[in-house]
Structure 1
Amino acid sequence: MKGKASSNQFYSILIYLFGFLLLWEWLKPLKVLTDTGDLTYFILFIVLALTLSYFRVHYLLSGTVKSVFILVALHALYFQGSLLGLAWLGEFVKDVWRNLGLTLGRDWSGLSFVYRSLLFFILLWLMTYLIQYWLSVRKAILLFYIMTVTYISVIDTFTEYEGDRAIVRVVVFGFLLMGLLALERLIQGEKLNGLAANMNRHRWIVPLTVMLGVSSIVAFAAPKADPLWPDPVPYIQSFAEGSGGLSGVNKLGYDTDDSQLGGPFIGDPTVVFTSEVTREHYWRIETKDMYTGKGWEQSIDEEEGVPFASGEEIPLSFTAENEERDLETENVKIEKGYSHVVYPYGVKNVTGNEEGAFEFLPVKEKIRSLDEKGEPVNLGEYALTYRQPSYSQKGMRAANEGQEAMQVPEFVERYTQIPASTPQRVKDLAAEIAQDKKDWYDKVRAIEGYFEKEAFVYDQFDVPVPEEDQDYVDQFLFETQRGYCDNFSTSMVVMVRSLGIPARWVKGYTEGEYSRQIDSQYKLYEVSNNNAHSWVEVFFPEVGWVPFEPTVGFSSNIAYEYDLDVPDTDEDQVPVPEKEETPKKPLEPTEDEAAGGGFSFKDVWETIKTFFAENWGKILAGFLLLAFAAVMAYIFRRRWLPYYLIIYYRRRKSEDIYSEAYISLVKQLGRYGLKVKDGQTLRGYSRYIDSFFGTHEMTSLTNRYERTLYGHKPDHEDWVKMRELWENLIKKTTG
């Protein structure tokens, strides 16, 4: 009997040993892929946990032993002094408490190594429990085996870790373990014991071991065939590096080549420059005028640039200046070297290259910095002086084809050009949108608002490349109806031009992400590759080039001069009728009250005292339960409050429902941890929210909210259109 028990114990230990070896393979890549210096304590913890599980130690004692081991290991790894001293333990508790706050705030980069090691020990604790469950209870390890093979394969493929030997070890240990567990299931199913069980184990394990050993040797010695397919990893990585070609996934950012538009993009948070500004505005770089059906090029070869010194007036004019506006100065600090200068509308001069000069390229309207030899040079920082432009609505509405600026054939041809191959339905759509509009301004604004009205979707990922015989604008307008700024801006330029109105394509950056308030006047913004953008400029003869923003979820912060002649009208005063006051009747007691019967305060009080005396225990317990429920509901209100708000605002019918809903959303985002920073504007805050969740919902909601603040009365239809975006965004705060 003793020999039988020893044999059973041997196979049980063998099963746990193979389980340990499989789990060990998960730890080995850590020394290569992370800055983990020593895995000894983690390996010893796995051995300890599996040993306690094998001997069926009570969970309270087992948990205590594991906890003590974790504390000893953490002390040995990160703390000085005596293990029995309280100084390190207090420091450890403070570190865990601080890191719990960082965890709740999703500040993963700020977590300490002590806290990370503690979490890793807890993860190993859970893994050993699962291993013990699979080995002892389920007697099936296939799921964990598949996970291990997948893990090693992925790590070997995409990292510097060499998993050739590891995958062989996993195959050998895994098949041996699965074979032993399969045998144990058969023995249990057939209810074999004693000598019969041991004989079956010996007969099973010997041929299994020999088969695995021979197959492994043959596999190593046999000649290897060349792969049938090329390695896909460089192909995939080329997309991440922005070299995937037309069908690949490129990174966002400014690029001079726009001849082939289309295809998906991935975000790139690399900061290009920081700016100290007084107000938000777009940063302009260059314009392009010739649409090819696939992208943008220049119709005129670049002529010689116009040089000017640092601080001199730039030979560039967009529109008539408003001398009543003060000149403002803003500073730009370059993080990623470019020789071009980013500048706001209304720029007057640029300083910061005293040793060299600047050059204005009139065809592109691009400004470059040059060194002493006249070669392009990258600047570290520069300052810009500008006067914020305003655009006269009266002048824009007065625009027509017969004005003097429209009598220059070269100008008209250049900025109303569209390819002969442009599908007729693109032109028909533009004519349909503008058919009821009398002047250029209303036509342009109608086309600008068409994309939001027809629910076009802003998307950087699910964006196809046009086929060889397909027009870029036609594909966007009539097939996909989803894309990013290039799709929206190019489509608007082509439609405006089809109406005979001069327009051009502009490239640059949006205002960037708000960072902090520098002083009472200046704010610091970070502009990254994610802020690269394109928009539209339309020419009005009496005004000049006016920017427009057709991309859904974006706003160019354009200042219009509301100088239209509005006739004075006397509003009819509707008299409000005075309310007639109805004299109040004195309250008279009922017959029962007058008689003194049927009601007595003394009887009610006695009844209440008796009820509390008989049920005080239940009342106290109920009160404590309600208090506990109220506290828990308050603590976890972030998770359930959005659903209540959704139901609440679905039933509301008031005119100011949108403003109330937007404020509720901002409060809920604050509870989620995304609070508005001091000095941060709503637009900057909305872009921060959208970058956090990877959407443009908050920007669209903010734009509509700001319209309500400036006099646009929202109706119920406005709320219905935006409610879906509002609900989608507020639901994301429940996670």
Structure 2
Amino acid sequence: MRGRASTNEFYSILIYLFGFLLLWEWLKPLKVVTDTGDLTFFIMFSALALALSYFRVHYLLSGTVKAIFIMISLHALYFEGSLFDLTWLGVFLKDLWHNAGLTLGRDWSNLSFVFRSLLFFILLWLMTYLIYYWLSIRKAILLFYVMTVTYISVMDTFTVYEGDKAIIRVVVFGFLLMGLLALERLIQSEKMLGSNMSRHRWIVPLTVMLGVSSIVAFAAPKADPIWPDPVPYIQSFAEGSGGLQGVSKLGYDSDDSKLGGPFIGDPTVVFTAEVTKEHYWRIETKDLYTGKGWEQSMDEDSGMPFRSDEELPYTLTPKNEDRDLQTEKVMIEEAYSHVVYPYGIEKVTGNEEGSFEFMPVNEKIRSLDGEGDAVKLEEYAVTYRSPSYSQKGMRAANADQEAMQVPEFVDRYTQIPPSTPQRVKDLAAEITLDEEDWYDKVRAIEGYFEKEAYVYDQFDVPVPEEGQDYVDQFLFETQRGYCDNFSTSMVVMVRSLGIPARWVKGYTEGEYSRQLDSEYRLYEVSNNNAHSWVEVFFPEVGWVPFEPTVGFSNNIAYEYDLDLEDSDEDQAPVPEKEETPKKPLEPQEEGAASTGFSFKDLWDNIKTFFAENWGKLMVGFLLLVFAAVMAYILRRRWLPYFLIIYYRRRKSDDVYSEAYISLVKQLGRYGLKMEDGQTLRSFSRYIDSFFGTYEMTSLTNRYERTLYGHKPDREDWVKMRELWENLIKRTTG
């Protein structure tokens, strides 16, 4: 009885210990997010209060002890001198009276630190009583556990407190505590006396399961977050914060007058396209930067109409007759009246009953019905030639060329607000200090963002405050944002150098869906693919697209003609981004060429495989270890079935003796061990009395005959196998 009582006391202490550890997790963030300098007294008070509750100390004595501890703690934290010099007590009482008046007047911001600490001690007093109630009376801690998880999650999300390790501790402590309390409720409800073995059988598997699952969860590869950061969304409703506006969804919007703020991803498919190659889809351009966003500097008087399958009345990009015409089909899912089109477009087909209209100010193409009103098409086809841009012409560009002698054009596309901070212009000059021609200057600004490790982010993106420039904020303060931040900043810096540039909107190539045939592939373009980029004007070449946003590439082709002096022949296009030259092949070792096998290559492949899959291998290894541990722990349940199959196939004469010994071992694993000095007959009678059968006695009598000279044979085993199997199956329960 003493051993049983000791066990009960041990588990009771363990329950209170886990309750204290959960309460401690509530205190740890306070040192990070508040002005609290030392948590020692609060932690000690929590432990003292739970200890008094565990020992069932009378509430008057318990309250007195807690009150004395609080007074000692407050003196140690805020008062000087001896504790027994009661002058500090008078100061404390005056402070208490003063803060009581502030509390009644709801002037909580002026409460003293002494009074705040006193209130916190009282709060801990109440919390420890609640924990005692949940642990000792209700024997259910689920509510407090859920509150703790929620508290840690909120602190981790909305403050600087890092709750990664805390949440793991809470899960482990919480589930162990709930498991122990579940066992206590079971023992209490079923009026079970319990024993060391019964409690261990409950707790050990629970502990092993939690330990292994925690290790696996910590070591396993983590997927990217599915939900966006909620902080910007909640902060967006703060009035007058000067911070974030309401969170918007990604997608095309014609209003760009106020840029900034977080975006939530929207996977809604806008259109699908049957394409021959990846490319951007263009919609419109804008030319007037206001310091907050983009507008049009000119009103759209009238468009330039054209019929389906007619050539556009306006050339958007330089034509290259050597390029083949490509026709691609666009199927609309979210209807718009505008047309999305690739660079080099020549025709739009698909509105035979109406017409199309090209808007020269913003270069948007609209679809119209027979009466000239905007109409939304379900599908259409675009015909284009992929443009290529002469590097020779771009490097030769300068302000003295004929196209740059039109003041209206230059003023329109080099405009920046007078309020643009000087440091934005200085940064552009610094980036291009060592570059001689326009092309190299533009490419230097384009590559600046990736070089300086600017961050692409859709969520933690603020709106400029009153009087703050959108570009200046991105370049010098946040250095994180999405395509609008990168493209607008590049346009402004390029313009500050006197080079014409403009802002372009549309979609990226979208997501690959499937191969339709040998030529066409199907792409899905969603609101998540809405994008903005930059076009720079080079005289004699035209408007050339550039992509400053980190992680994006617009896949344009350049005409590599720098070494040609007097040739009009176009060269084969090369990708916009220069490819890294391939290393020359190393000569193969003798013997490797003939066999095609190399131990060095094999070893390299093995190292590469482990480097790329170490996370999966670690998880697999931990799962195997977990499976092996569980198999060992539960061997009493599955091992008898293995032994039955094993001995059914044995044909030797001594099979019965081996089977009997295996049975005795299995009975020991079941908890029916043979005591030292106990005879086989005595043990067999004990087993039969336990199970209420006569099977063990029969098996033992047969086994003893083999010990005293009777040579066992196959028939002995055949006759006794059914009894042996029946008895060994009983040990699986």
TM-score, with normalisation over the residues of structure 2?
A: 0.47
Determine which structure has more spread, i.e. the larger CA radius of gyration.
2
